[in-house]
Chain A
């Protein structure tokens, strides 16, 4: 079974998000990058699959290679870096779809979304470009007789799906426990192939003009624990939420 795992790197979840250049760009100073946590879940599920031949792909400049090496240490056999700034989901999805057109896979595993832009666009865009089926919020994935059995989250419940391969999956919590690379994995990752390829041209359809930080909330109104009627009155009369 040939599996492609798509990863991106994102600011650590504890990062303070600030902007520079008149709020035009993200301030990367002091930011620690990690593999997007959902992509890590996708990779962790991939390495559990028996007989999996795993390639990991990332669209990014050379500073993302540490993330690819980590993915190799976790268990991928080969890494591909598309040498470009990951401008937006549209751009990234085209690069990955192009790679898959030239190098067929049975399963394409992504995280359900990245924790920086939260678009959740890339998995379904890759599937759209390749005309493959896709499952966006996958909490359980099993493979049986050349088909995928899936539990997907829906509003107020879940659904059980059966899907043909090739298939694109957006991994969510529950699909696997995160795998931490061991010493042997880290040693072997050094000699595994990491290939750099050139991006294809993709027309730009949108751009981010500027960023802003959220307005700070007003100071908290403290209410005594023995005066809950006051809280209810405030929520009803002032905030009008109950």
Chain B
């Protein structure tokens, strides 16, 4: 028996979410008094792989078949399945990232395992069952999910689990499972990254703006504030519907749900659908000229006033603070 964690990397570098997943797996392994194996797929240098030991992995399996250089969920799920069998894994932990969403259900299906998706806290192990609280109804409520199958798959929401160091002497082993022929019928033709921008689901600070900004030409001050904070930018639904900003920035019930440490909402009134997507933020700051805006009811800090005056001043004040 063991705990297996699948660790995502981007061009050979592990992201924070990988360390979060390992920290989560370590906590499970400690409760179960068992070993933690981390699995990495694709080309990653040994020195980078060894970093997984800092968070508690006893062993790292690394697969660097050339066919696996691009993420294809069907193929990656097959590798995770083989690793789970080899390691006799009872728990498989992965990140509920965009790629994780395509992967976790496939892994669960192959292993006939129950899947707890969108997990934001450590669960409770009682005998063979695992119970955990997760958000449902687009963050308007929580449910306690009880997993009763022998094998369990857990997908952890990025930025919700704190990274915990747990220095472990780690072994790196190469792993070369057989790859099913038909697992490569999706071909990655091109990957386009928004260079120099912080990715929204992983961001610990988000600066978000709404219709109060009056038009896409006024977004520079949002970008400037985001830059000084090292934050990602986001927007409300009317803004992406109007084409002022890309759909990928739409936060809310029908967009992306986020859980940053700090969410700064500028010129967003706070419709129930938007609030659903941001309610698990740790701290919410609202800047709005309408003191009756519903967003103030869920905010930790509020400033009533004109965003066009406040935002540039806030950026300057933060620059002064940071230096």
Contacts and interface: CB of A to CB of B under 8 A. Distances in A.
Interface in B136-154: 136-149
B68 interface: no
Contact of B98 (A122, A137, A209, A223): A137
Interface string B151-194: 00000000000000000000000000000001001111111111
Main secondary structure on B side of the interface with A: mixed
Contacts of A89: 105, 115
A93 B109 CA distance: 10
A160 interface: yes
Contact of A124 (B73, B143, B144, B189): B73
A128 B189 contact: no
Interface of B: 10, 15, 72-74, 77, 97-99, 101-106, 108-110, 112-118, 131, 133, 135-149, 182, 185-194, 197-202, 204-205, 229, 240, 247-248, 250, 253-255, 257, 261-262, 272-273, 279, 282-286, 296-306, 309-310, 313-314, 317-318, 321
B116 A206 contact: yes
Main secondary structure on A side of the interface with B: mixed
Contacts of B250: 173
A139 B131 CA distance: 34
A133 interface: yes
Nearest to B248: A153
Given A93-B109, A212-B144, 14 more contacts: A112-B101, A121-B115, A124-B104, A128-B77, A153-B248, A157-B194, A158-B192, A159-B189, A160-B190, A162-B187, A205-B147, A212-B143, A222-B302, A231-B314
Nearest to B189: A160
Interface residues of A, number: 79
A210 interface: yes
Name the residue in A14, A17, A213, A235 with the highest tally of chain B Cβ atoms < 10 Å from its Cβ.
Answer: A235
A210 to B, nearest CB: 5
Given A134-B73, A154-B191, A139 B105 contact: no
